[in-house]
Structure 1
Amino acid sequence: MTDLPFPLSGSTLIVGPSQTGKTRLTAQALDAWIEQKGTEGVVVIEFAPEVERDGWVLGGRLDRFTTIPDRVWYGVLDAHAPRSEGKTEEEMVALAGDNAERAERILDEAPQPRAVFINDSTIPLQHAKSDLQKFTTYCTDAECVVMNAFESNELGTDDPVSRCEREAVKILREWADRTISLE
């Protein structure tokens, strides 16, 4: 097992641009938790869309890097990639809103976690109506929270989706016990 650059306690936010290893590191943390503490109370929430752009897959899912055990609660959002799929700002905002609504239902269905691992945590937070407080409140009582988030200007900066996402990352940085920045 690879040594992690953070403890498996409290809350850890992993940030960086595309293709820097955020999902892989989150998967390694999940594997380390299960190896050390088992699957009881483990919740995995998958918000990542899989989009090919210029020959690269953006937003890969955790199951590309690990096997999610059957005994783990696994909530998967079939997410849109608003900035890649939307042709106009209005379409981008509508896709982000759809992600936010459907992600909220996943959080409503998820059991209270002992440990929670969230891939691409800002996908449901790219819309002004996103409920970031509900998101962080869900995670508050967990012994361990590991989530990752896209943080870069590579997909845009001045559109409504990018502005909401930047604000969400800022708030998650303040909320998390620690932030790991990958370049």
Structure 2
Amino acid sequence: MAYDSDSSDGSDFSGFGPEDLGSDVEIPLVHDELSSDDDSNDDSSESVRNDEWTSNFTTPRIDDFVERPGPNLPEGFDTETATPLDYFWLMFPVRLIAMIVRYTNQYASWKQTRTGPDTYWEDVTEPELRAFLSINILMGIHQLPQVEMYWSTNQYVGNQGIQKTMTCNRFIKISQYFQF
């Protein structure tokens, strides 16, 4: 291996060579691989010499960007008085929440027809789904190694806001069937 063992930061590392892989390994050159005898069987008139492939390159056409940059907010949306919840509703309108509820419940029903009834499942509601999404956002802000840790009784680990919003079992059950 071409590595200077005196250098502790590895800055003199120059890569691996054939001597590092062993004597039974052969490393073909890329050019040799491309111009192998297999290409000689191609009798089409469109064959291109491998050493001239760039001569056929054409620059792609890229149209100018003509849209308004930045967020496209709805008419009348006041950015001066908008709250974080107002921005949330832009990404998750009530119509989308209703669709996710419907798809989640349909998926749970379909899954149970294949695997048998899930006695712990109850159809999710729109308020529950909003709470579920909120908990997921909070979990992205305050990350813990395991989902169950948010419901820990340890005051330094658990999150009381999440615990008051939804039980751990319900959160895991919604996660199991969450679909959209």
Does TM, scored on the shorter chain, surpass 0.5?
no
Higher strand share: 1
- The TM-score normalised by the length of structure 2 is 0.20
Larger Rg, first or second structure (1 or 2): 2
Q: Whose relative contact order is higher, 1 or 2, with alpha carbons under 8 Å and at least 6 apart?
A: 1
Higher helix share: 2
- The TM-score normalised by the length of structure 1 is 0.20
